[in-house]
């Protein structure tokens, strides 16, 4: 295996001109076009034809390749030590022959990620019990069976391959001309999913101005530089969106699909990772607009008044936890999974410790969380 040529894009981005960035973004957008144009019979992951997996789990693609079980999202992200146990709990790992079986797989993953029934997990109160998650996933399965009949979903359900981490750290560019892309690395967990599963993908090289500004605003010395950053970000965003509209219309259509329709498909496989609150909120929303969506009958999820009151309280606590997580992510220059570049690992650890201590101090009072709840709410590991 040879090393790729070039340098990581994230190392050159800040020194690139607006034109260089726009040209680079257009090249990357055309790579998405190439991915979107690949045709697959169904959902799964790509293997060599002689891969040691059961023949019943292979769909021949020709040229020495086949489609087989999912090897990435939604089973990942999962700690390696938990992966074997998770896979043993799944009734199937694919490939999934149709959208209904794919949705059943999402629910299966969500259930497989739950701790054993006799476990006593250390989670904040708003997280929900194991039984809460199990019951919600069961009703979510019924809701999704109705949703996939909608034309809005059917129109963006075609199997699509997209790089799972399409960001600057995985992109290499020419050292002398950074507008030229030389390589895209880290394909190992790439999967073929329904196109709508990629609807919320926001590559950091095409981040919306407000998203970018929220991360770096404290480092900008004056309003002129702020305006320049926002202008460059807008140029990159428009370059990406217009290229998608013209060259990858189904992917563009999926990105334009209402997020309220597709979030439930992403939340159900990771309810235990994110707490019961986001998934329950989606179900509550669907229960209130079931008929307006053109769905027949009654929504399978019918929350009681007491549950809505409890959810309102849980939602407020969950929002605080999300705000803390966003703060830590920005302060440590990481992402929602806690990924940090090795060059800043030590500094990020120090910042994480500092933010953690400040968080505990902020909750030390009558109106704050208890010490145990405050520690459980903090999103990342800390060496105390």
Task: Name the more confident of 228 and 200.
Answer: 200
Q: What is the mean pLDDT of residues 351-379?
A: 89
Q: Mean pLDDT score of the chain, rounded to an integer?
A: 88
Q: Torsions phi, psi of 228, nearest 5?
A: -65, -45
Most confident of 69-78, 199-208, 251-260: 251-260
The confidence band for 75, taking pLDDT boundaries of 50, 70 and 90, is low
In the 8-state DSSP scheme, what is residue 24? H
Q: Pairing state of beta strands 59-62 and 171-173? A: unpaired
Q: What is the mean pLDDT of residues 100-127?
A: 89
pLDDT at 217 over 70: no
Are the C-beta atoms of residues 270 and 73 closer than 8 Å to each other? no
Residue 337: the pLDDT is 79
Q: pLDDT tens for residues 366-384?
A: 788 888 999 999 999 888 7
Residue 211: the pLDDT is 44
The confidence band for 218, taking pLDDT boundaries of 50, 70 and 90, is very low
Query: From residue 270, how far is each of 76, 227, 278, 339 by CA, in Å?
Result: 9, 38, 10, 18
Q: Which H or E run contains 61?
A: strand 59-62
For the chain, give the percent of residues with pLDDT over 70: 91
Q: What is the 3-state secondary structure (H, E, C) of 80-118?
A: HHHHHHHHHHCCCCCCECCHHHHHHHHHHHHHHCCCCCC
Q: pLDDT tens for residues 30-70?
A: 999 999 999 999 999 999 999 999 899 999 999 999 999 88
Question: Would the pTM of this model clear 0.75, i.e. be above it?
Answer: yes
pLDDT at 220 over 90: no
pLDDT at 14 over 80: yes
Residue 224: the pLDDT is 52
Residue 221: the pLDDT is 46
The confidence band for 212, taking pLDDT boundaries of 50, 70 and 90, is very low
Task: Name the more confident of 71 and 204.
Answer: 204
Q: What is the mean pLDDT of residues 12-39?
A: 96
Contacts 24+ apart (CB under 8 A), 263-268: 263/200, 264/140, 264/143, 264/144, 264/147, 265/103, 265/106, 265/144, 265/194, 265/196, 265/197, 266/74, 266/197, 266/200, 268/106, 268/107, 268/110, 268/137, 268/140, 268/144
């Amino acid at each position: 295996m040879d090393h790729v040529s070039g340098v990581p894009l994230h190392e050159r981005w800040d020194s690139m001109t607006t034109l260089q960035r726009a040209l680079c973004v257009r090249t990357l957008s055309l790579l998405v076009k190439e991915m979107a144009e690949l045709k697959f019979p169904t959902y799964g992951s790509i293997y060599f034809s002689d891969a040691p997996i059961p023949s019943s789990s292979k769909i021949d693609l020709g040229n020495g390749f086949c489609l087989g079980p999912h090897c990435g999202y939604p089973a990942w992200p999962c700690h390696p030590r938990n992966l074997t146990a998770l896979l043993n709990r799944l009734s199937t790992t694919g490939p999934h022959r149709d959208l209904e079986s794919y949705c059943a797989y999402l629910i299966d993953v969500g259930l497989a990620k739950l701790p054993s029934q006799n476990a006593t997990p250390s989670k904040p109160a708003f997280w929900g019990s194991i039984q809460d998650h199990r019951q919600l996933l069961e009703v979510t399965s019924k809701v999704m069976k109705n949703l996939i009949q909608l034309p809005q979903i059917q129109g963006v359900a075609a199997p699509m391959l997209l790089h799972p981490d399409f960001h600057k750290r995985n992109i290499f560019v020419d050292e002398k001309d950074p507008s030229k892309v030389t390589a895209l690395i880290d394909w190992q967990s790439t999967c073929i999913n329904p196109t709508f599963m990629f609807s919320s993908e926001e590559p950091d090289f095409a981040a919306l101005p407000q998203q970018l500004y929220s991360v770096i605003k404290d480092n900008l010395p004056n309003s002129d530089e702020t305006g320049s950053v926002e202008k460059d970000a807008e140029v990159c965003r428009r370059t990406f969106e217009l290229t998608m509209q013209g060259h990858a219309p189904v992917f563009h259509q999926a990105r334009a699909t209402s997020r309220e329709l597709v979030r439930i498909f992403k939340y159900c496989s990771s309810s235990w990772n994110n707490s019961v609150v986001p998934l329950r909120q989606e179900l509550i929303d669907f229960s209130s607009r079931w008929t307006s969506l053109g769905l027949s009958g009654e929504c399978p999820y019918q929350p009681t008044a007491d549950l809505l009151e409890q959810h309102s309280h849980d939602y407020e606590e969950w929002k605080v936890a999300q705000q803390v997580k966003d703060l830590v992510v920005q302060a440590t220059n990481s992402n929602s999974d806690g990924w940090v570049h090795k060059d800043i690992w030590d500094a990020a650890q120090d910042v994480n410790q500092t933010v953690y201590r400040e968080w505990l101090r902020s909750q030390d009072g009558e109106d704050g969380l208890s010490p145990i709840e405050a520690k459980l709410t903090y999103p990342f590991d800390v060496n105390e």
